[in-house]
Chain A
Amino acid sequence: MTTRQAAYCAMLTALAMIFGYVEALIPFGFGIPGVKLGLANIVIVLALYILPAYQAFAIQLMRIVLVSFLFGNLSMMIYSLAGGILSFLAMDLLKRADGFSITGVSIAGGVSHNLGQLIVAVLVVQNLRIAFYFPALMIAGLVTGCLTGMLADRIKRVMESYK
């Protein structure tokens, strides 16, 4: 790990935490309770493209654990970890596969994040009825993943021009 990478890791973790906090101030739910914009995903997508994969994964884990301890609780951490780890694996896989744009990778992340949380919710509540939210959550993941992906794409281009 170079000094530049260490600095990026620290900065991006801090940024992801702030985004997770700021997000609570922005009303965005389009009819589905609990759906969030996922601003922190901008940071994770960006990290995936400018840092080695294991460092991006560390940022994701640090962000979830820190935000849960600071502003949330244990059950929130379980949901976040399920969504966060699944979405990271999906995004890393698609990024390695090549042929997908940043926005495409981010969409896969948004959708798989919601899918991971839905699976945990079904297991926790012990009621398969919840799986009925699958289509709504897929569309929500598609829209939010697309928005955060486009932003990450913009930011990456700006960062590259400063190198």
Chain B
Amino acid sequence: MAAVIAIIAGISALVVMFAQSGAGASVRVTVDGALYGEYSLSKEQSIFIESASGYNRLLIKNGSAYMAEADCPDKYCMDYKPVSRGGETIICLPHRLVVEVTGTRDAHQPDVVVP
């Protein structure tokens, strides 16, 4: 039993790792399956997400995003490690909120262009 489950978990872990790519470019926030907004990871910002069920505050810093505040009862979304790689997610189930990292940052592009 344990071996069978370990093998299934191993194979699906490989699929997931394959789907998660390098450094992401932006985060897409969806509430209830509908797009709430897309925010660049290269800009430091604080995003206040308000929905019928409550609010969350997402912070973007140093190219990664994390949940800084939420008024949900369990606060599991605040336990997530900061996300930065494509395909990584932060989920707040009570608020039906998903933050996912999308796109890949081109390594050959400069981070900042100083005019």
Measured CB to CB, the residues of A under 8 A from B are 29, 31, 33-34, 73, 75, 79, 94, 100, 104, 107-108, 111, 121, 124-127, 129-130, 132, 134-136, 138-139, 141-142, 146
Q: Does B76 have its Cβ within 8 Å of any Cβ on chain A?
A: yes
B19 adjacent to chain A (CB < 8 Å): yes
Q: Do B89 and A129 have beta carbons less than 8 Å apart?
A: yes
Task: Contact check, A125 vs B94: say whether CB atoms are below 8 A apart.
Answer: no
Q: B94 contacts which chain A residues (CB < 8 A)?
A: 75
Residues of chain B within 8 A (CB-CB) of A108 are 1
Q: How far is the CB of B13 from chain A (nearest CB, A)?
A: 4
- Which B residues are closer than 8 A to A by beta carbons? 1-2, 5-6, 8-10, 12-13, 16, 19-20, 30, 32-33, 73-74, 76-77, 79-81, 87, 89, 91, 93-94, 96-98, 100
CA A120 to CA B22, docked complex, whole Å: 29
Contacts of A100 in B (CB 8 A): 1
CB nearest to B1 among chain A residues: A104
Top 3 nearest A-B pairs (CB, nearest first) are: A126-B33, A135-B13, A138-B9
Which of A29, A127, A134 is the one whose CB lies under 8 Å from B33? A127
Instruction: Evaluate contact between A125 and B5: CB separation under 8 angstroms.
Output: no
Q: Is the CB of B80 within 8 A of A33?
A: yes
Closest to B100 in A: A129
* B-side contacts of A135, CB under 8 Å: 9-10, 12-13, 16
Chain B residues whose C-beta falls within 8 Å of the C-beta of A79 in the assembled complex: 93
CB-CB nearest in chain A for B77: A33
Contact B12 A138 (CB under 8 A): yes
Chain A residues, Cβ within 8 Å of B6:
139, 142
